[in-house]
Structure 1
Amino acid sequence: MKYILEEAYKSYRETIKTFVLNFNTSGEDFIVDQRNSIKLFVLSEETINIKAFRIPNIFNQFAYKFLRKSKAQRSYEYANRLIKLDIGTPKPIAYFEFTTPFLFKKSFYVSEHLNCDLTYRELTKNFNYPDYDTILRAFTRFTYKLHQKGIHFLDHSPGNTLIKKHGSDYDFYLVDLNRMHFGTMDFETRIKNFSRLTIHKSMVEVMSDEYAKCTGEDYNKIFDLMWYETETFQEKFHRKKRLKKRFKFWN
């Protein structure tokens, strides 16, 4: 077992290790799916969030052991990098990795648990949500801020931005952090970064309008590209689902 723990949590080292080692039989289920599981644990007076990444396939077990950083390590390092760049994300606490001499096995990312008011996903389902237009435009400005700081969040999708209301303002926090690139982004890459967020043309129109205000670019240029990238992503997504169904049928 290898782990890295934030200095502020060193006094809780053994407790956090116990949480991780007993992950399967303890904690409160928060998210459970085929890929990864998230559980909540009470640490003193704080609730923390532990994400367990599933054991990768045999090729990636070798790659993560010798060639690449694990998803847990990347999540931890990217969270610290985002905080230094003044981008919201739940506070990172630790990451753990379990390996054999030649293969990588399981990994865990530990962070604070952030209670949010909503995620971006709610905006795709409830067009009557209070302050709807204000939130969607603020989210667009937040995405522009990411782009200006050279943050290409590859998993910029509906469930991966938590939203909290503070007075009349809204704050945004990124989660599911293990896929990011850092560096200057060209116009096409910036606009394509919106492609996974919604299937609704009305939302793309609002985001295009607000992004045009942020950048000074022509609205029509932004909208045409954003809607094209949105439709292209949806076509690829549904094509992939159809192929999976056929593969399962044949098996």
Structure 2
Amino acid sequence: MEINKKYEHLRDWIATLPKRFESEGEHVYGGQRNWIKKFTAPDGTVLNVKRYHRPRFINLLVYSFGLRKPKGQRAWEYPAEIYKRGFDTPEPVAYMEQRQGMLLGYSYFVSLQCPYRHDMYEFGNARKGTYEDFCSAFGRYTARLHNAGILHRDYSPGNILWDKDENGNFVFSLVDINRLQIGPVSKKQGCANFARLWGSMRFFMLTARSYATARGYDINETERLITAARKKFWTKYLKKHTVDYRVEL
């Protein structure tokens, strides 16, 4: 177990979370592999606890013997890189691993609950006239991320939280950051980073213009690269999945 020194007073309580994870806490997300629950600590601190599934097959050896860092450990370490570059992600509180002998079982990443009230799913069926200002801000934000050498490799609707501050400015926070690439982000990589997001074609054209301007790229080429990346991703994705809005390609 590793813990943020600010939350050392919660060490004993946090250490009990794995035993209580199944029966307690408020469900936030649960897929086939990973689960997220919300807990309130004795001092009133609201925490998100993500449990990563037990690795299997070759990954069991890769993660257990340090050939690659487990996802929870990466989620624990990456916030320092994000803060250093001037961006926001929920503050890490603790990281825990359960092992049987040398083999990794469940791992847990504990962070503060992000106060932002919105995510990118809201733009799946957004109407014209409701998202123009957002597109401009979001394009600039993504350009700043990429210029700072941050590429979130799961830049998907639920992993970008946003809100407005007291001055009416859009603010953003990255979550689920275990798949982060730190280093130069090329034009092709940057444009492809939008592929998983939801929204109308117009939404992406406006975002592309803002992104291109902020990075000094040709707008037409940027629109073409983003459109091509989205078409490639969604053509493949929709063969196996359904979504509750019309995908424009």
**TM-score with structure 2 length normalisation?**
0.90
2:231 maps to: 231
Distance apart, 1:110 and its partner CA? 0.1
What does residue range 81-100 of structure 1 map to in structure 2 within 5 Å?
81-100=81-100
Deviations 1:188-244 (A, max 9, x none): 1111111111362111211111112212322111101110111011122234559xx
2:13 maps to: 15
Q: Residue 164 of structure 1: SS of its match in structure 2?
A: strand
Q: Residue 25 of structure 1: SS of its match in structure 2?
A: coil
Distance apart, 1:18 and its partner CA? 1.3
2:116 maps to: 116
Distance apart, 1:170 and its partner CA? 1.3
1:73 maps to: 73
Separation (CA, whole Å) in 1 of partners of 2:211 and 2:98: 43
Separation (CA, whole Å) in 2 of partners of 1:8 and 1:129: 44
Asked if 1:154 is matched to 2:153, the reply is yes
CA contact (8 A) 2:52 2:107 kept: yes
Q: CA RMSD of the aligned region, Å?
A: 1.7
Distance apart, 1:68 and its partner CA? 1.2
Distance apart, 1:109 and its partner CA? 0.4
2:246 maps to: none
CA contact (8 A) 1:51 1:110 kept: yes
Q: Residue 198 of structure 2: SS of its match in structure 1?
A: coil
> Percentage identity across aligned positions?
31
What does residue range 44-193 of structure 1 map to in structure 2 within 5 Å?
44-66=43-65, 67-127=67-127, 130=130, 132-167=131-166, 168-193=168-193
Asked if 1:6 is matched to 2:17, the reply is no
CA contact (8 A) 2:123 2:199 kept: no
More helix by share: 1
Separation (CA, whole Å) in 1 of partners of 2:111 and 2:129: 29
Separation (CA, whole Å) in 1 of partners of 2:209 and 2:16: 50
Q: Residue 156 of structure 1: SS of its match in structure 2?
A: coil
Asked if 1:209 is matched to 2:209, the reply is yes
AA matched with 2:34:
N
Q: Residue 90 of structure 2: SS of its match in structure 1?
A: coil
**TM-score with structure 1 length normalisation?**
0.90
CA contact (8 A) 2:132 2:203 kept: no
- Unmatched 5+ residue regions in structure 1? 243-251
How many residues are matched?
Answer: 239
The structure-2 alpha-carbon separation of the partners of 1:84 and 1:8, relative to structure 1 and needing over 3 Å to count, comes to: same
